[in-house]
Structure 1
């Protein structure tokens, strides 16, 4: 399957995954203007990446910062119907100052999208 067909065939699921990642970010309680970029399927850069285990070409989506220099997220659709996504937040938790929000992740299959925030404890001085 060519790249354009993969992008189109995965679009509905990709939009649902992005919505779920956005919900996880919003659940953290950041002020509206504090998060400048959210994952959006239609704003991703797309590539087909060969899976070394199965030999299949998996659609991989990348999100970049506003200058298109630093990658801030990734979504990979696997040939077995599963996916994995991660998106950087990189901010101190708005309600828990002892925690740092590295990002949000999502994984699963179309019928069961799971997601959570990736938190790190802040170093104590």
Structure 2
């Protein structure tokens, strides 16, 4: 299951769920209240670069996608579909919280299975002087 055809097949099989995960990550980012122009990139399933990686525990293949910033040099997100039907995704925001200046938004994460997508924002408190 490592041929290019099977990679393309896996990308297509996971497409609907991947789009739903990206929408959920986008919703979490938008709920924070950033100005429209402040967020320059959002996670889009079709923008990810995918590969199949053998899970050493199960021996099955997991579909893993990465999102990259400008010039494809810096990784800004990851989406992993596990062979057991679960997934995990994370996407960088890297901005001060728009409504809570004492907090820094590191990113957003999503996890679960097809019928249960959970998500949350990853916040860090900014140290005070």
Note whether the superposition's TM-score is higher than 0.5: yes
How many residue pairs were aligned? 125
Q: Which residue of 1 aligns with 2:115?
A: 111
1:57 equivalent in alignment to 2:61: yes
Once the two structures are superposed, the pairs formed by residues 41-80 of structure 1 within 5 Å of their partners are: 41-80=45-84
Give the TM-score normalised by structure 1. 0.98
Structure 1: distance between partners of 2:70 and 2:117: 27
- TM-align CA RMSD: 0.6
Q: Deviations over 1:7-51 (max 9, x none)?
A: 000000000000000000000000000000000001110000111
Relative to the length of structure 2, the TM-score reads 0.95
Q: 1:36 maps to which residue?
A: 40
Q: What is the CA deviation profile of residues 77-97 of structure 1, one whole-angstrom value per residue up to 9, with x for unaligned ones?
A: 000000000000000000000
Equivalence for 2:97: 93
- Structure 2 stretches lacking a partner, 5+ long: none
Distance 2:54 2:124 in 1: 32
Displaced runs of 4 or more, over 4 A: none
In structure 1, the gaps of 5 or more residues are: none
- Name the SS of the counterpart of 1:36 in structure 2: coil
